[in-house]
Amino acid sequence: MQRHIVVCAACLFLAFATPSYGADGAVLTAQNIISAQIDAFLKDDAQRAYSYASPGIQQMYPSPDIFFEMVKRAYGPVYRPGNYAFGRSETTANGVTQEVLIHASDGQDWTALYTLERQSDGSFKISSVHMIKSAPPST
C-alpha cells in the first residue's frame, strides 16, 4: 500500500513537471515567461529579462543593457506595470500570442500583445510586444 502511494506521488510529480505541448500548456508556458520577464524588469535584472527575448530581438539589441534601456524608453507600462492580468490568447503551430492587460503605475490602461515563438529546442521566447493604449472611459 505504501509503495502504491509513492508510485502515485511520483507519477503526479512527473505529470506536472513535464512540459506540456498542448494548447493549454503552451499558453501557460507563455504566461509564465511573460510573468518572469516582468518580474525581472521590476527587479532591474537586465540579464534575466534579456534571456526571455528571442534570438531575433537579441540580434537587434546585442546586449542586456541595450535591450533594457530600449524597454525603459519604449515599453514603460511593461517595465513598471502597476498591475497586470492575462487576457485572450491564441496558439499556432509556431507559438503563442498572449494579450496582457496592464494598469500602468501612472494610472493609464494598456493592452500589450505578446508574441512568443517556439524555438528549435521546444522552448518559447518573446519575439514581439505591441502596445495599445486604452481609450479613457466615456462619461
Q: How many angstroms separate the CA atoms of 51 and 36, rounded? A: 10
> What letter would DSSP give residue 113?
E
Instruction: Break the chain into its structural domains and give their ranges.
Output: 2-133
Average pLDDT, the chain: 87
Q: Where does the pLDDT of residue 20 fall: very low under 50, low under 70, confident under 90, or very high at 90 and above?
A: very low
* Greater pLDDT, 47 or 13: 47
Instruction: State the fold for domain 2-133.
Output: Nuclear Transport Factor 2; Chain: A, (3.10.450)
Percentage of the chain modeled with pLDDT above 90: 76
Please tell me the pTM assigned to this model.
0.81
Which strand (E) or helix (H) includes residue 110?
Answer: strand 109-118
Question: pLDDT (tens digit, 9 = 90+) per residue, 77-95?
Answer: 999 999 999 999 999 999 9
Q: How many angstroms separate the CA atoms of 54 and 88, rounded? A: 22
Give the pLDDT mean for 128-137: 88
